[in-house]
Structures are given as C-alpha cells and as structure tokens.
Structure 1
Amino acid sequence: MCVSRCLQCIGVSLVPMAIICMLSNVLLLLPDWKIHFLLEGHVTREATWATGLWGSGFLVLLGARSFVQSSRTRGCCAFRSQMFCQVLYSLLGLLASCTCSLVSATGLSQGPLCLYNSSSGLTWGVPLQPQPDRHSGYLYNQSLWSGVCVEPCSVVQWNLVLFGVMGATSALQAVICGFSVLNSLLGLILGQGFCHNKVRTLLYLGVEKCSDRIVRTTRPTTLRHHPPPEGETSFRLRQPAWIFMRNQLRNSQINSTGQYYYPKDGAILLPGLAQKL
C-alpha cells in the first residue's frame, strides 16, 4: 500500500539524519575536542540548548520508529487510528526539526563564544556577532575567522561547519516530516484501500460472468469477492481478479477473426482483454 510504504521509507530516511544532528550537537559542545570549555561554561549558547539532541535527534527518532512500525498495521479501524497517531508524530517531528533549524541558523549568524582581545584585555564573549557600527557579520569576511578568537582553537570554522550541517539536515527533516503529515492524512481519510493493489478492481468493456461462462456485454464490469444478487453484472472472486482472468485467458483460444473464445462452449472474450491483463 502506498501510504504504508511511504511511511516506512520516511522512517528509514529520518534515522541517519537524526544521528547526524545528534553528533553535530555533541561536537559543538566540545570545541577543540576539549571538555573543559563545556564544564567552565565557555560554549556557544545555541549549542548548549541541544536542539540537535532532543529536537532533531530524540523526537525525530521517536517518530521514525513509529513510522516503521505503523507500516505493518492491518485492519481498517487499526489502520485509521494508527494514521491519526502518525499525523501527530509527523507534526511533532516537524516542530522539532524546524526549531533545530532556526536555532542552528541563529548560532551560525551570531558567531561562536570565544576568548578574544578587547579594550579591557582578554575576555570571553561573542565578538563576531553582527553590529551595525562595526561589521555586518563574519560569514562573508574570512579575515575575521582566524584573527579574532584566541581560544578555542579554530572555533569559528568548528561552529561554521557543524551549525551548517545541523541546520541543513534539520531543514531536510522538516520537509520530510511535512510530507509525512500529508501522507498520513491521506491514509486517515482514504483508508487502507488507498493505492492498494492486492485485490485490484478491473474495469473493462465487454466481459461478465453468467453461471460458469464468459460472455460479451456492452457495459463495464467490476470484479468483486462474492456472487451478487440475481440480475446484477458484477461478481466477487475468492482469488485476486487478475489471477482469475489470466487463468481464463490461458484456457481460451483465438478464432479466425482474432477473437478469444472457449472451445467447450464457444463463449467469446474481447481481444482487448488480453492486453489489460
């Protein structure tokens, strides 16, 4: 089924992205691979919020696990209730990933917390944040990347790469979760039969079953699962419709005019039916 397969693909694709966001956030807490900056509180504020851990990490993984499990749900009522839960999980993942993306963009634009030379000597602060009276930011001025911060070493490049990766990955998560919301709503509204091909309905012109014969008719016929009331043209099969009609064609032959017919009783099948099956 389309909805379940999409949910399974979404769940599988969200897992590596969540791991990337979690690793990026952990590395942001360890500039220059040293933990004492974190213990002393000398880490960029947006990194300490840990949105990559609990937002695009844990909450998205929670939704991904639910997406994969829901793809195995069977039954109409169970499927619809599961789809309702998936809508909630998708909205939660969308909110969490959007939050992480916005925080990453903010940390990227404001610059890192570092030790720099000020008028009063070495001090901890955010010297690269945009200020109208000095500069508009450091992103487009690479001369500020290595000439301002003293410690941690290469902290500007560290934050630039990790915040960029985390922001881009969480933005992609937001797009996927948004698609998951629409997919789950389709499953909730249309039910388990949406794009379901296990028992397919064949609409074709010219074939219906009367007793045990296949005869010509002039209106479309729908193949179903049990015999209809007397006088109706549709009928139901115990096996998938395409298997039944394929077996019927195998037992037929072609006459001199190109029509399919049964040698036993002479009942005729239309030529176009073979192309449909």
Structure 2
Amino acid sequence: MCFGKCAKCIGYQLLILAILCIVANILLYFPNGETKYAENNQLGRFVWLFQGIIGAGVLMFFPAAVFIGLESNNCFGYGHKRCGKSTAVLSSILAAILGLASAGYCLIISSLGLVEGPYCLTNNNTWVYPYGNASYFYLADHSTWSECVEPKNVVVWNVTLFSILLGLSAIQVILCIIQLINGFIGGIFGCCAENKQSLIC
C-alpha cells in the first residue's frame, strides 16, 4: 500500500474519532440529559476545558484533512508528481505533530478529570469534589460512589465519558505517531509506484 493510501486511511479514522470525541465531550455537560447543572456551573472543572470538543475534536479535523489529501496525484498544488508528493508527505509531519499535541491535551485532561472525580452535591448538602483528596481510590471502590447525591449517577456518567475520551484520544495519539513515521519514510523514499509495497502500513 502507498504512503498516501496509508495516510488517507489514518485521516478517515481520525475524522471519525474526532466526531466521537466531540459528542462525548458535549454529553459531559448534561448529566442524565439535564441542562440545569451546566447553567448553574455545577460541573467539574475538567469538564469545562473543551478537551474533546477543541483538542481531540475540531483541531483534529486539520490533520485528518491533510492526511486524506495526500493520496491525490498533485497534492497541495505541487507540479511534479514524485517530488510534489514526497514534499507533501513530509509536510504531513507538521500536521501529525499538531494532531499529537491536540490529542495529547485531551488525553491528559481526561485522565485528570477521571482521577479527580465529579463535582457533586454530597450527603452533607454541599457541592464539593468528594474524591479529589480522599484517602482511597474511588474508581476501585464502587461503594463510595453513593457519596454523590446530585446529579444522580454523576459518577458513572463522568467515569464512562472521561474513559471514552481517554481511550479515543489515546488511539488518536497512536495514529498520529504512525503517520509521523509514515511521513518521515515517505518523504525520504518517495511515494511508492503503482504495484509496489511501501515499508509501512
């Protein structure tokens, strides 16, 4: 398979993952489908950092578009097929670095949100982060999840969606690393001719 075809495949996968990240991040704003917690600013601090909407979402559209366009014969307006495509593949390294940074941002923020736990109303009738400074690891002890009274099932909601964002952004990081290698090799050796196998993908 050609370097451009490999990049195109990665581009489409990143596009799908970006859309899923946007959806997962939007759902974080509406525990149990209710809007009042977002309106009253009663959501965790890591929910408001747009890691899935901006980081692994909108910013990922640019690398995805670049990778998808690499298979065209005259990529980015270069005149000479071979040199043009080699230069274009090398330029995709910059797009891969952008994708790596944006997906990495989502990965880090989602991890922090998962570790800290949700902001919720506890049995003491106060809005706090009950698991942030706890002496136990709440993810391993489901019996402690009942400490959050409101929003209902907010722990399950947060853990599920932050875990999804974590997993999707981790896949994006891996794909961007693959494209870094693919772009580097493709830029050095040139895009493969018809009926020849490339060294990667």
Q: Which structure 2 residues correspond to residues 165-176 of structure 1 after superposition, within 5 A?
A: 165-176=164-175
SS of the residue 1:139 aligns to: helix
SS of the residue 2:152 aligns to: coil
Name the count of aligned residue pairs: 191
Q: Which structure 2 residues correspond to residues 27-176 of structure 1 after superposition, within 5 A?
A: 27-74=27-74, 75-118=81-124, 122-131=125-134, 135-145=135-145, 147-176=146-175
Match of residue 197 from structure 1: 194
Q: C-alpha distance in 2, partners of 1:128/1:190?
A: 52
Q: Which amino acid aligns with 1:83?
A: V
1:186 Cα shift? 1.0
Q: C-alpha distance in 1, partners of 2:141/2:132?
A: 12
**Contact kept in structure 2, 1:18 and 1:61, CA below 8 Å:** yes
* Larger helix share, 1 or 2: 2
SS of the residue 1:144 aligns to: helix
Q: C-alpha distance in 2, partners of 1:184/1:6?
A: 10
**Structure exhibiting the larger radius of gyration computed from Cα positions:** 1
Bigger relative contact order, structure 1 or 2, given CA contacts below 8 A and separation 6+? Answer: 2
Distance 1:35 1:189, change over 3 A: same
**Contact kept in structure 2, 1:130 and 1:138, CA below 8 Å:** no
**Contact kept in structure 1, 2:4 and 2:89, CA below 8 Å:** no
**Contact kept in structure 2, 1:127 and 1:148, CA below 8 Å:** yes
Q: Which amino acid aligns with 1:89?
A: A
1:198 Cα shift? 5.1
**Contact kept in structure 2, 1:129 and 1:137, CA below 8 Å:** no
**Contact kept in structure 2, 1:115 and 1:123, CA below 8 Å:** yes
Same amino acid, percent of matched pairs:
32
